[in-house]
Amino acid sequence: MELTPPGPRGIPPLFARLVDDSALFPPGDAAMPEALRSYLETRAGAHAGLVGLFLCQASRLPELITELIKIKPKTPLPLSLIIDTGLGGVPKAISIVESRDELLDLRMVEMPAPSDVDEVWLERVSEFVPEDVIRVVEPRRGVGWLDGVRKVIEHGSRPKIRCGGLSSENFPSVDEVADFLAVVSAHTGSSFKATNSLHRAVRHADAETGFAHHGFLNLLVAAARCLSGKDVRAALEETDGEVLAKEATALSEPAAKAVRELFGSYASASLDEPVEDLKNLGLL
C-alpha cells in the first residue's frame, strides 16, 4: 500500500506522510478527544501532507470509536492499530475495525515480537492481518536482534526500530542503527518504520536527561547514504542541521522516492515539533 505520495500544498516527496501521530503514547499520553482533535486539525491544515496515520492501541478501540461517532469525520480515520493485547487479540481487534469502516480505514498493524522471533509466530501474523494492510513487527534489540530483523523482512513484514524511551538502554547506538539500515536495505523492496524519541529533526542531547536523541532528518539522510554506498554512520552522528538539510535538498526526486521506499514512516507524539524544525531548516 502506497503511503508516501507527493504531499499536498508543497510538501516535498521526501517528507510526504512521514510522521505518524502517536499522541496517545508516552511521552504525550494525550486524552483521546484531544489527540483526535489535534490530528484532524493538522490533517486539514497547511502541512497536512507531512502527516501519516493515527496510532491507537487495540485496547482503546472502543474509546476511539466512541469519540469518532461524536466527531463524525468526513472521511474514515487512517489508522495504524498497535497490538497491546497479544497476538491472539489481533483477529478480534481487526474485526472491530472492519465493522466500523465508515469511521476507520485500517492501513497498518504494529506489534512487538517475542524475544525469540519465531517462524511460526510470524506465519500467524501473516494469517491474521489482511494482505492489503501493512504489517509492522518490532524485534527486541539484543543478542540475535539482526537475525530477527531479517526474519521479519523475509515473512513480508516491516521491521520497526525503537530509537529511544525513558532510559538510556532504550536508545540504540549509532552502530546499531547503521547495522539495522544495512540489513533492511540489503533486502530488495523492504521497508522499515521508526518510533520513539524522534520528535526533532536533528541529533541532539536532551537538556534534562543528557540522552543523545537520534534525529529523523539524520535517519533520512543516512537511508539515502545507505542506498548510495556512502558513510551512514557520519550521517547518523551529524548534529549540524544545515549540513543535513543541504544534503536532503540535493537529493533528486528518484533518490528521495527510493529513500522513502526504504524509510516508510516514523511515529511522533508531537506534530508541531517536526513542522517547526523543518521550517527552521528551510525544508518546508
DSSP string, 225-243: HHHHT--HHHHHH---HHH
Pairing of β 77-82 and β 51-57:
parallel
Distance CA 245, CA 17 (A): 18
Per-residue pLDDT at 138 exceeds 60: yes
3-state secondary structure of 108: strand
Distance CA 4, CA 264 (A): 8
Distance CA 71, CA 122 (A): 37
Residue 122 is which amino acid? L
Per-residue pLDDT at 163 exceeds 90: yes
Q: Confidence band (pLDDT; 50, 70, 90) for 10?
A: confident
Res 33: pLDDT = 97
* CA-to-CA separations, 282 to 12, 42, 242, 244, 275, in angstroms, rounded: 11, 20, 9, 11, 11
Per-residue pLDDT at 111 exceeds 70: yes
Specify burial of residue 164 (Cβ count, 10 A radius: 0-12, 13-18, 19+): buried
CB–CB of 23/57 below 8 Å?
no
H-state helical runs in 161-228: 174-185, 216-228
CB–CB of 276/283 below 8 Å?
no
Distance CA 259, CA 1 (A): 16
The residue that leads in pLDDT, 116 or 201, is 201
pLDDT per residue as tens digits for the range 18-53: 999 999 999 889 999 999 999 999 999 999 999 999
